[in-house]
Structure 1
Amino acid sequence: MRKYECIYVISPTLEEEQVKALIQKFNDLVAQNGELESTEEWGKKKFAYEVQKHKEGYYVLMNFSANPDFPAELERNFKITEGVLKYLVVLRK
């Protein structure tokens, strides 16, 4: 298993319950396919430029261990989930 770091940004227009549900959804997905090490909610932060007509977003950082094929599945889920503005999954050393 490899170690990964993932950051994703949730739309600021979602209500608090919807944000918590999205975070829990991705935490559960990682836990089912690997080992979730930590999740940090950074909260709302302003963007340097507009992203999908939003000037800010809710940032979440995840650290996890998983098999090499799992990040592609996680990215697929980010793409099809409404409310996720941006995401990035990188391999940690």
Structure 2
Amino acid sequence: MRYYEIVLIIHPDSDNQIDNLVNYYSEIIINSTGKIHRLENWGRRQLAYAIKNLNKAYYLLLNIEISKNILDILDNDFRFNEIILRYLIMRTKNIIVDPSAMVKKKDDNNQEGNNSTVCI
């Protein structure tokens, strides 16, 4: 089993499908004896450049532990899923369970009274 970090950029009009998407991929990972070490919803954010004429999208971050053949299944599924605009899969050497810089930044903003997403 190897450790991976996955970032998904999801179509902004599919906000009601994000929970279903997370549950679907979580089931695939867990049913294949994998583990989800960190799952964060970064919320709807501005894109650096337009993708398919869209300027905003939802971001999800997953740190998982799975085998290579299950990663290939996920990669293929990400590629053909219409609501996933872009994705990035990176292999990591260690388990990452600490909150990301994005969540820490949002937590700091929360203390100032702004709304933000929460680490799942």
TM-score scaled by length of structure 2: 0.71
| 1:32 matched residue in structure 2 | 31
For 2:71 and 2:53, how far apart are their aligned partners in 1? 27
Question: Structure 2 unaligned runs (5+)?
Answer: 94-120
SS at match of 2:12: coil
Q: Matched residues in 1 for 2:65 and 2:46: separation?
A: 29
Identity within the alignment, %: 27
Shift in Å at residue 68 of structure 1?
2.1
Letter in 1 for 2:37: E
Unaligned runs of 5+ in 1: none
Runs of 4+ in 1 over 4 A off after TM superposition: none
CA distance in 2, matches of 1:63, 1:3: 7
Q: Find the structure with the greater CA-based Rg.
A: 2
RMSD: 1.2
Say which structure is richer in strand: 1
Give the drift of 1:86: 0.5
Q: Which residue of 2 aligns with 1:4?
A: 4
How many positions carry a matched residue from both structures?
Answer: 92
SS of corresponding position for 1:19: helix
Relative contact order, higher structure (CA 8 A, sep 6+): 1
Deviation of 1:88 (Å) = 0.8
Larger proportion of helix: 2
5 Å matches for 1:66-81?
Answer: 66-81=66-81
